[in-house]
Amino acid sequence: MQENSYYVTKKRMVALMLASVFLFFLIFCRLFYIQILWGKNLQTKASDQWTRDLNLSAMRGDIVDKNGEILATSCTVFNVYARPNAVVDKESTAKVLAEALSLDYQSVVQKVNKKGVSEVLIARKVPTLLANELKEKDLDGIYFAEESLRQYPLGDFLTQVLGYVSVDGVGQTGIEAYYDKYLQGIDGRLLTQTDLVGKELDGVQYYLPSQKGLTIKLTVDSKIQMMVENVLDLAMYQYSPKKAECIVLDVTNGSVLAMSSKPSFDLNNIPRDDLESLTDYSKNVLVTDIYEPGSTFKIVTAAACLEESLNGGGFDENYVFKNNSRTRVVDGTKINCWSTHANGKHANQKLSDALNNSCNPIFTDIALNLGKETFYRYLEAFGFGSKTNLDFQGEQSGILIDKSMVKNADLARIGFGQSVTVTPLQLCMATASSVNGGILYQPRLVESIVDNVTGVTLTNPVVVKNRTISEVTSQKLATMLEGVVTNGSGKQAYIEGYKIGGKTGTAQKFENGALAQGKYVSSFIGFFPVNSPKYLVLMLVDEPVGQNYGSVVAAPYAKMVIQGIIDLYDVAPVE
């Protein structure tokens, strides 16, 4: 009996042992699954909690002018953080911080005692010098995160073109917005090994430095720009217009040398709380707004007329327009010349005379003579009705009445710059093409993007869009436009010893679909040297008070700009 029960015990003991071995094996299988098959995944999740990840924001790239002068740059400032759990002596730490950063002691004490947060911001944008002083004090649990602060050394300068950035350093308008991805740079990281509550562990850090953004090199020449801005300020002062605007273009490649509109503001002191003026003043109206160009548009009509004369249409430079009346009636609408045509004025004009006199009836004749098909072919070739594709945000394309809808009365008005709206830049590009030998360029504000670390440069190439007119026609037209400045309405822009071409314009403004009484845009578009055009200047004075003729208001300012360029670059007078 005893032997038998003892035998049962031993048998069962072996069974228990085998059972436990089996269980050990099962758990080992589970362990194999966790450590080998699931391991990588678990480790990735685990590593998230082992480190505190501090973002090191990249320094934003510079914007420089064509000569390398810095227009927008970033300096390093520091955001000061505390990790409350790691701050050992809360009171004395708070005291040091409050004193150094001129903060309220009580609020700093509250911050370093804050529960349930891993980090708390103590101060923003602390200058490097001050931050370094604090760093030397080696306070436990206080951390410094680099950040770049945007600065514009020239202040109220090239405001609308440069644009500005948000508080977080993201480009909002202008070049800052358009080239934001290049300017941004690549953020760095500081990974710190910590324990559960964020206490730093010794010696184990991973530092990935941030990479500064690329440098954007503009085509803008800040010397010319500076002068343009001064001239515009003068215009603002003398005529109290709504706006005064100017573009200076290199007609040989479509590069924008200066682009400004007033009023503007200091980019270092953005009126963020006055949204209306901020929106109005930061708009680059030369690109984003449209207007009826008026007489300056006659250059285009003249170009089409001359070029077409080579094909047997239009009128050549020797043709004498017979109709000396100051009035034309097209489809029942009357079109008058600004002049009375009395006492032989505006009589027996050639094309050059018509330009000099800015005689509307002649350009009506030309437009109607060319006809819808031909004239529109030229208008489209000059880029009207479509964007210039400037590297800038919010460009408008202007309004060219749809060809299928256009009536003769419209066509006639387009001939002298009405019933058509353009952006000032569009007019510049078309005029440049009229006088530079017939090439329509795509305008550009950026010359290249430069990586200062590697020296790699990405060039924004000069783009030829199409040919508008022949070289011969272009030369003829340039000479005619020289006459406008020498003898015609553009006399106010004449400079002794220099060959300058140009055309004035006085356009009536439309408001809410009706002509606005007494509101004009006075303009002058000029270029020089006539024999080999290089610079083009468009001067616009929007709603000047007192005077309104482009010849009186705008031409003198354009002359100042041209004179300035001559002085800056010692352009030699023609013998």
Partner 1 sequence: MKKFAKISQIDDNLLFFVTIALVLIGLLFVYSASCYTAELETGNKFYYLIKQSTGALLGIVAMVTASLFDVNILKKFHLPLAILSALLLGLVFIPGVGISKYGATRWIGFGGFSFQPSEICKFALVLVGAHSLTQENAKPFFKYAKVLLFGLTYCVLIILEPNMSVTVCVGLLMVALLFLGGMKIKTFLLILLPFVVVLPLMIVLEPYRMLRLMAFLDPWASPKNEGYQLIQSLYALGSGGLFGVGIFQGRQKYRFLPFAESDFVFSVIGEETGLLGCLTLFLLFGLYVYCGVKIALNAKDKFSCILAGGITSVVAIQSLINFAVVTGSIPPTGLPLPFISYGGTSLVVFMTATGVLLSISRANKKQGFGIS
Q: Give the C-alpha separation, 58 to 76, whole Å.
A: 9
| Total of chain residues touching partner 1, rule CB under 8 A | 41
Min. distance of Cβ 207 from partner 1 in angstroms?
Answer: 19
Q: Does 8 bind partner 1 (CB under 8 A)?
A: yes
Selected from 49, 55, 118, 531, the binder of partner 1 by CB under 8 A is: 49
Catalytic residue among 295, 419, 474, 522: 295
Selected from 102, 129, 168, 196, the binder of partner 1 by CB under 8 A is: 196
Question: Which string of DSSP letters, residue by residue, matches 398-436?
Answer: -EE--TTT--HHHHHHHHTT-SEEB-HHHHHHHHHHHHT
Provide the token pair at 174.
């202008």
Q: Give the C-alpha separation, 446 to 393, whole Å.
A: 13
Selected from 10, 137, 181, 272, the binder of partner 1 by CB under 8 A is: 10
User: Which range, of 7-15, 225-233, 271-279, 375-383, touches partner 1 by CB under 8 A?
Assistant: 7-15
Min. distance of Cβ 204 from partner 1 in angstroms?
Answer: 9
User: Which range, of 3-11, 404-412, 525-533, 547-555, touches partner 1 by CB under 8 A?
Assistant: 3-11
Per-residue contact string for residues 201-240; x = within reach of partner 1 by CB under 8 A: x---------------------------------------
Q: What is the largest CA-CA distance in the chain?
A: 153
Helix (H) / strand (E) element for 301: namely helix 298-310
Q: Give the type of residue at 318.
A: N
Q: Give the type of residue at 109.
A: V
Q: Does 6 bind partner 1 (CB under 8 A)?
A: yes
Q: In Å, what is the CA distance from 181 to each residue of 7, 169, 213, 215? A: 84, 12, 8, 11
Q: How many CA atoms lie within 13 A of 438 on its CB side?
A: 15
Selected from 50, 319, 338, 510, the binder of partner 1 by CB under 8 A is: 50
User: Which range, of 22-30, 52-60, 167-175, 546-554, touches partner 1 by CB under 8 A?
Assistant: 22-30
Would you mind telling me the total number of residues written for the chain in this entry?
A: 575
Q: Give the C-alpha separation, 394 to 396, whole Å.
A: 6
Strand partners, 77: 127, 147
- How far is C-alpha 165 from the chain's CA centre? 12
User: In the 8-state DSSP scheme, what is residue 37?
Assistant: I
Residue 118: active-site member: no
Q: Does 181 bind partner 1 (CB under 8 A)?
A: no
Min. distance of Cβ 2 from partner 1 in angstroms?
Answer: 5
Selected from 2, 102, 318, 404, the binder of partner 1 by CB under 8 A is: 2
Q: Give the type of residue at 436.
A: N
Min. distance of Cβ 202 from partner 1 in angstroms?
Answer: 11
Task: Closer to partner 1 by CB, 37 or 514: give it.
Answer: 37
Judge whether 352 and 389 are in contact, CB under 8 Å: no
Q: Does 16 bind partner 1 (CB under 8 A)?
A: yes
Residues 24-43 touching partner 1, rule: CB under 8 A, are: 24, 26-28, 30-32, 34-36, 38-43
Min. distance of Cβ 30 from partner 1 in angstroms?
Answer: 5
Q: Give the C-alpha separation, 429 to 427, whole Å.
A: 6
Question: Which string of DSSP letters, residue by residue, matches 504-533?
Answer: EEEEEEEETTEEEEEEEEEEEEEEE-TTS-
Strands of 235-370, DSSP E: 243-250, 255-262, 327-330, 333-336
Per-residue contact string for residues 83-122; x = within reach of partner 1 by CB under 8 A: ----------------------------------------
Min. distance of Cβ 5 from partner 1 in angstroms?
Answer: 5
Task: Closer to partner 1 by CB, 2 or 318: give it.
Answer: 2
Give the residue numbers marked as catalytic. 295
Residues in contact with partner 1 by the rule CB under 8 A = 1-2, 5-6, 8-10, 12-14, 16-17, 20-21, 23-24, 26-28, 30-32, 34-36, 38-43, 45-46, 49-50, 193-197, 201
